[in-house]
């Protein structure tokens, strides 16, 4: 019952449009528009950062063995190049042979398939369609299509080399890159930014280890399957299947095509066996292996992994899907480090906020009058101390100064 003097009507809410809100909306639109224009540049930058996070521990390992940083970087890049060349030598010639066999034997397979389908009244229309299909147009691209494919391939190679060069420059002079970043970031976020950088390296390392594990398992399974089916050249086909397993969503299909083509001479029973086996393994990988490998190292639930893959594939195709997992895990970690309260996670622990204030005050005292490069080193030392303190006792949010953590503080 309404109070005396009140009409009892519910007053409508008014949404106030402020100058700050308008500026924020315009800023978001400008960022989205810039990101759309600089899509390849952003992809190259993300790829370079992933390479840096992957290769930096190897470079550090060689530096600990009394090698110079430049020498260590060159050795790591040479080893990576050697692995890529070896994979190419193992897979490309075998794939070319398989394609030639497919093109040469296509007319005979077309005739046999049309003959089998024509034996039943239900599949007679399909038999006529198969018999009248022009395999030349299906298997051999036209000159225009071939030119488009070659142009896209050259562009992709160019961006790949750019990504490698950018990663090399960042690895060669990391202090300068760090100093440049700390110059544009507000000082009160320096320690959190340092923790973000350390966590990103952990995420990228876990992602790459997960890629290696899943690819190795796929290659091993394919090799054993082809050996059992007595298929020729099982090793290059297994290597190709392991490499294509890196590609989300389409990797399994792409890797299965040459397997089926290579099994055709063994008969339809063997083709069906290989197809069913690959499909079963893909289900096992998607439902058990990937959630356990990537779910733990990236700290993302299975539904988040799937959603990230779909969004990345929709926005930027295969490359977007390939980079979507570390990007999604990185975004989640950044929001956590910035103490952003997400729906369903509950309120931020007040002890964490108090610890952040203590850390920021200590950092401000130690870096008073220091340059960007020195400040970056101090921030990384403090961030590493805080992270190791959290790892030792995650429930305790108390800050242990890095001078007491077994690591000497900056002078």
Last residue of a domain, one of 142, 163, 184: 184
Is-contact 115 123, C-beta < 8 A?
no
Neighbours of 218 (CB within 10 A): 25
In a domain, 393, yes or no: yes
Shared-domain flag, residues 165 and 227: no
Going by C-alpha positions, the residue among 207, 191, 224 that lies closest to residue 365 is: 191
H or E stretch including 206?
A: helix 190-228
In a domain, 9, yes or no: no
The distance in angstroms from the start CA to the end CA of the chain is 72
Shared-domain flag, residues 257 and 140: no
Exposure letters 33-62 (e unless 16+ CB within 10 A, then b): eeeeeeeeeebbbbbbbbbbbbbbeebeeb
- Give the range of the structural domain holding residue 162, as residue numbers without chain letter: 37-184
Shared-domain flag, residues 207 and 264: yes
pLDDT at 380: 80
In a domain, 27, yes or no: no
Q: Which residues, 6 or more positions from 46, have their beta carbon under 8 angstroms from its beta carbon? A: 323, 327
Report CA-CA distances (Å) from 301 to 295, 298, 315, 321, 325. 6, 9, 21, 17, 11
pLDDT at 407: 39
pLDDT at 176: 76
Report CA-CA distances (Å) from 121 to 110, 117, 230. 19, 9, 36
pLDDT at 409: 40
Shared-domain flag, residues 111 and 218: no
Helices and strands (DSSP H and E) totals, the chain: 15, 0
Is 342's pLDDT higher than 70?
no
Is-contact 245 252, C-beta < 8 A?
yes
- Better-predicted residue by pLDDT, 195 or 265: 195
pLDDT at 400: 47
Percent of the chain with pLDDT over 90: 2
pLDDT at 221: 92
Task: Compute the distance between CA of residue 405 and CA of residue 391 in angstroms, rounded to an integer.
Answer: 12
In a domain, 22, yes or no: no
Is-contact 302 295, C-beta < 8 A?
yes
Number of folded domains that form the chain: 3
Is 94's pLDDT higher than 80?
no
Shared-domain flag, residues 303 and 255: yes
Last residue of a domain, one of 149, 184, 219: 184
Shared-domain flag, residues 55 and 163: yes
By mean pLDDT, which of 22-31, 48-57, 98-107, 274-283 is the weakest? 98-107
pLDDT at 329: 80
By mean pLDDT, which of 209-213, 240-244, 273-277, 289-293 is the weakest? 289-293
Task: Compute the distance between CA of residue 232 and CA of residue 174 in angstroms, rounded to an integer.
Answer: 48
pLDDT at 402: 47
In a domain, 180, yes or no: yes
Is 180's pLDDT higher than 80?
no
By mean pLDDT, which of 73-77, 167-171, 186-190 is the weakest? 186-190
DSSP of 304-336, one letter per residue?
HHHHHHHHHHHHHHHHHHHHHHHHHHHHHHHHH
Shared-domain flag, residues 203 and 156: no
Indicate if the alpha-carbon torsion angle 399, 397, 291, 328 is positive or negative. negative
In a domain, 85, yes or no: yes
Q: For the chain, what is the mean pLDDT?
A: 75
In a domain, 342, yes or no: no
Label residue 137 by pLDDT band (50, 70, 90): low
Shared-domain flag, residues 275 and 209: yes
Shared-domain flag, residues 42 and 63: yes
Shared-domain flag, residues 166 and 86: yes
Last residue of a domain, one of 184, 205, 232: 184
Shared-domain flag, residues 76 and 116: yes
Task: Compute the distance between CA of residue 80 and CA of residue 365 in angstroms, rounded to an integer.
Answer: 43
By mean pLDDT, which of 98-107, 166-175, 381-390, 398-407 is the weakest? 398-407
Shared-domain flag, residues 355 and 304: no
Indicate if the alpha-carbon torsion angle 117, 122, 127, 130 is positive or negative. negative
Is-contact 354 340, C-beta < 8 A?
no
In a domain, 220, yes or no: yes
By mean pLDDT, which of 9-18, 186-195, 271-280, 387-396 is the weakest? 9-18
């Amino acid at each position: 019952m309404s109070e005396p003097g009140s009409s009892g009507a519910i007053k409508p809410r008014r949404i106030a449009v402020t100058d700050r809100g308008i500026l924020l909306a315009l800023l978001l639109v400008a960022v989205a528009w810039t990101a759309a224009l600089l899509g390849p540049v952003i992809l190259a930058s993300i790829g370079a950062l992933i390479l840096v996070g992957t290769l930096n521990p190897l470079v550090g390992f060689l530096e600990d063995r009394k090698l110079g940083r430049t020498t260590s970087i060159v050795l790591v890049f040479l080893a990576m190049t050697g692995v890529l060349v070896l994979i190419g030598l193992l897979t490309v010639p075998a794939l070319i042979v398989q394609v030639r066999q497919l093109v040469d034997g296509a007319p005979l397979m077309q005739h046999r398939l049309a003959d089998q389908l024509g034996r039943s009244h239900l599949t007679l229309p399909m038999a006529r369609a198969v018999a009248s299909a022009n395999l030349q147009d299906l298997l051999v691209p036209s000159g225009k299509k071939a030119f488009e494919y070659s142009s896209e391939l050259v562009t992709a190679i160019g961006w790949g080399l750019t990504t490698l060069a950018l990663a090399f420059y960042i690895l060669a002079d990391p202090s300068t890159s760090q100093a440049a970043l700390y110059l544009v970031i507000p000082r009160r976020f320096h320690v959190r930014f340092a923790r973000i950088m350390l966590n990103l390296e952990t995420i990228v390392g876990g992602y790459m280890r997960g890629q290696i594990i899943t690819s190795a398992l796929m290659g091993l399974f394919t090799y054993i399957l082809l050996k059992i089916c007595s298929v020729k050249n099982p090793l290059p086909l297994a290597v190709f299947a392991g490499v294509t397993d890196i590609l989300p969503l389409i990797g399994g299909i792409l890797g299965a095509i040459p397997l089926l083509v290579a099994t055709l001479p063994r008969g339809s029973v063997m083709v069906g066996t290989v197809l069913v086996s690959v499909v079963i393994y893909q289900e096992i990988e998607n439902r058990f292996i990937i959630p356990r490998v990537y779910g733990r190292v990236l700290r993302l639930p299975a539904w988040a992994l799937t959603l990230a893959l779909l969004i990345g594939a929709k926005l930027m195709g295969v490359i977007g899907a390939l980079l979507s997992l570390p990007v999604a895990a990185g975004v989640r970690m950044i929001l956590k480090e910035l103490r952003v309260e997400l729906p369903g996670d509950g309120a931020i622990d007040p002890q964490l906020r108090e610890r952040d204030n203590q850390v920021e005050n200590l950092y401000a005292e130690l870096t008073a009058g220091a340059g960007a490069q020195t400040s970056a080193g101090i921030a990384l030392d403090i961030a590493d101390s805080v992270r190791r303190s959290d790892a030792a006792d995650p429930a305790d949010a108390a800050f242990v100064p890095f001078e007491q953590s077994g690591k000497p503080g900056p002078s």
